[in-house]
A and B are shown apart, each in its own frame.
Chain A
């Protein structure tokens, strides 16, 4: 088995696919936050504006790890 450049590029693509898998945990966390926000609206419907802005801020923060995986995948595909 010889390690030529095509093998290296194929491995980089495989690594990119694995790196995007970080979105799995991000999606679970965001869904949990959204579920809790729905519960909070059900309990206290008059606070919906504050709950909405807090939810958006928290979701954008929870997205960070997924975005890191995406950046690594982009670097693996286009740069390496």
Chain B
């Protein structure tokens, strides 16, 4: 057992700093969602929920209300995935407030986001619409448009990943520059301008934009 923990420790130490932060975000999300799920199971439907549980119920309800106009038929299938991606991105972008490296400022994690988007869109389009209809959509205005449609299928997930990477990377580079050139004044500047704007505000907006784009592209591929 001790050998196992030793191996785990060495494995964790060998990771790069952004992936370490990503593992921390995963653990926080697992603990938080498990606690909220256990509380929601015990909930009395006559009473109003309180505190943190109430906030999480509001978040799920908000995402549900956003999804129903976009996916008229299939919103129950895709809402859990979209909510999970949104929560991971939100907490990952806020991770630099805890002194961790922002996970999305590593190109590997940003591009793995786009791989998830690509595989989800293709697989669910093949399952829900039959392969024949899917092929007709790819050839849609004219068979000559096939290369353009294929490039479009690859480039939208890629641009979603690169958008996240560029935003988070530029925020962290600005933070490094300002902390490097201002010694003590930089702490005040960082506390009141840098982290509220670049971590909280831009991080939340990027998570929201990712949720919107993912749901819209998925709806285009899946719904009629």
Contacts and interface: CB of A to CB of B under 8 A. Distances in A.
A76 B100 CA distance: 26
Interface residues of A, number: 11
Interface in B153-171: 159, 162-163, 165-167, 169-170
Nearest to B169: A74
A67 B166 contact: yes
A14 interface: no
Given A57-B212, A64-B163, A70 B170 contact: yes
A21 B205 CA distance: 24
B109 to A, nearest CB: 15
B173 interface: yes
Interface string B169-201: 110010000000000000000000000000000
B206 interface: yes
A71 B205 contact: no
B209 interface: yes
Contact of A71 (B165, B208, B209, B212): B165
A32 interface: no
Contacts of A80: none
Given A57-B209, A57-B212, A60-B205, A67 B163 contact: yes
Interface residues of B, number: 15
Nearest to A53: B208
B165 A60 contact: no
Interface in A56-80: 56-57, 60-61, 63-64, 67-68, 70-71, 74
- Among B165, B166, B173, B208, the most chain A Cβ lie within 10 Å of the Cβ of B166
B102 to A, nearest CB: 14
B207 to A, nearest CB: 11
Nearest to B206: A60
A66 to B, nearest CB: 8
Interface in A8-46: none
A61 B209 contact: yes
A71 B162 contact: yes
A29 B209 CA distance: 18
16 contacts: A56-B205, A57-B208, A57-B212, A60-B163, A60-B206, A61-B209, A61-B213, A63-B167, A64-B159, A64-B163, A67-B166, A67-B167, A67-B170, A68-B162, A70-B169, A71-B169
Interface of B: 159, 162-163, 165-167, 169-170, 173, 205-206, 208-209, 212-213
A-B pairs with the 4 shortest C-beta distances?
A: A67-B166, A60-B209, A71-B166, A70-B166
